[in-house]
Structure formats: structure tokens, C-alpha cells
Amino acid sequence: MAEFCTCGAQLPPDALFCHKCGKPQRELVVPETVAPPPSAAPPPPVSVASPAPASQPLNFHNRAAVKIALLVAGLSTLLSFLLYVNWFLAGFLAVFLYRRRTGQVLNLESGVRMGWITGLMTFGIMVLILGCFGVSVQAIGGVSAFEAQFKGMMDPHMTEFLKVLTTPSQLAMVLVQFFVFTTLLSMAGGALGVKLAGNRPSGS
């Protein structure tokens, strides 16, 4: 059966609008819009811890270690009136300063090695001073001339020391003793420095 609009126009089958007046002929069903699912929250940023300072081997290729050892060795030489104690303190101070300078965590072996480097530096400075003193004595005519020039001003220990400088065998023995004591005591001081401060985090 033909359908007619209210305006009287005949409608084709299943017409949605009147072709004459444009009136809608049946209710349009609008599909429900489906809301998109909520987007997943972005993952929280992963905090990357700053890497620990790279460990450098403690040897004579380590510039920081050599500079600190040389500085402490010079200070130890100035404190030579504290014989033996100054060498022990040199190893301890070298480890402490190296730890503060680099932030590197030291173990017992590293502390001993730092003390050893400091002891060698100290011994080298002592040998240099003794060599310069010996050359000066020879330049003014030897021990006898030196004693005559400073007669009445020299301490008996100084006289004995001058005799040691002019006797190669005794001088070699003294140098060996100096080498053993400076290195061993500095190594012991370095080990103690690690125990007290070297293996703690920087700034603690």
C-alpha cells in the first residue's frame, strides 16, 4: 500500500523524507557512540642512579695518587724531627686525601699501595737531600774542611753523620734502613687510613 506524506505527496517505499516538503517520515535511530577506553597511564620514569666513580689502579700512572703522594712526602720531610711517626702519618694522610679528592672507595690493598707510593716518594726526597748535602760538603773541601769551618757549632751527632756520608758501606746501610722504615711505616699508615676513613662513602 502506498504511503502519503501529510502534504499529500505519495512517498516511495521506505522513504525517510518527503521528496516534496522534506518532512521526516520515520524516527532515525542514532547509534550510540562508544567512548574510547581510557589510555593507559605512562609508566613512571625510572630513576637511574649515577654511576660510582670508576676505580683507578693505584700506581705511578695514577696522576692523582702521584700528586698527593708527592705533596704528603714533602710534608713528611719537613716533619723529620718526628722521626718514624712522620712516615706513619704520611701513609695515613695520603689515603685520607686521595679518598677525599677522588671519592674512590679503597680496600686494604689499595691503602697499602697508596702508602707504599708515598713511602717511595719520601725516600726519594731524603736521598735527594742527602745527595745535595754530600755534594756541598765535598765542594768546600770535604768533611775536615766542613768541621773546621763550623768548629764549635756542630753537634756530636752531626759529626757522626758526616762520617757516615763519607763511608760508602755505612751510607749504603743507612739508606737501606731508611728505605725499609719509610716504606713499611707508610704502608702501615695507609692501611690504618683505609680502616678509619677509606672504605666509607664520600661525605660521610
Domain tally for the chain?
1
Interatomic CA distance for residues 42 and 151, integer angstroms = 90
The per-residue pLDDT for 91 is 93
Interatomic CA distance for residues 173 and 117, integer angstroms = 22
More confident position, 111 or 51 = 111
* Torsion of the alpha carbons at 99, 103, 109 and 115, rounded to the nearest 10: -20
For residue 190, give the C-alpha cell. 695507609
Q: How confident is the model at residue 39 (pLDDT cuts 50, 70, 90)?
A: low
Q: Is the pLDDT of residue 50 over 70?
A: no
The per-residue pLDDT for 121 is 94
191 inside domain: yes
The per-residue pLDDT for 204 is 45
Q: How confident is the model at residue 71 (pLDDT cuts 50, 70, 90)?
A: very high
203 inside domain: no
Q: Is the pLDDT of residue 45 over 90?
A: no
157 inside domain: yes
pLDDT tens figures, 5-23: 777 777 777 777 777 777 7
26 inside domain: no
Nearest to 95 by CA among 7, 187, 3, 11: 187
Per DSSP, the three-state class of 9 is coil
120 inside domain: yes
Q: Maximum Cα–Cα distance for the chain, whole Å?
A: 152
The per-residue pLDDT for 117 is 95
- Average of per-residue pLDDT values in the chain: 79
116 inside domain: yes
pLDDT tens figures, 153-187: 666 666 677 777 777 788 888 889 989 999 999 99
The per-residue pLDDT for 203 is 47
3 inside domain: no
The per-residue pLDDT for 1 is 55
137 inside domain: yes
Domain extent, residue 76, equals 63-198
Q: How confident is the model at residue 195 (pLDDT cuts 50, 70, 90)?
A: confident
* Torsion of the alpha carbons at 133, 139, 141 and 145, rounded to the nearest 10: -40
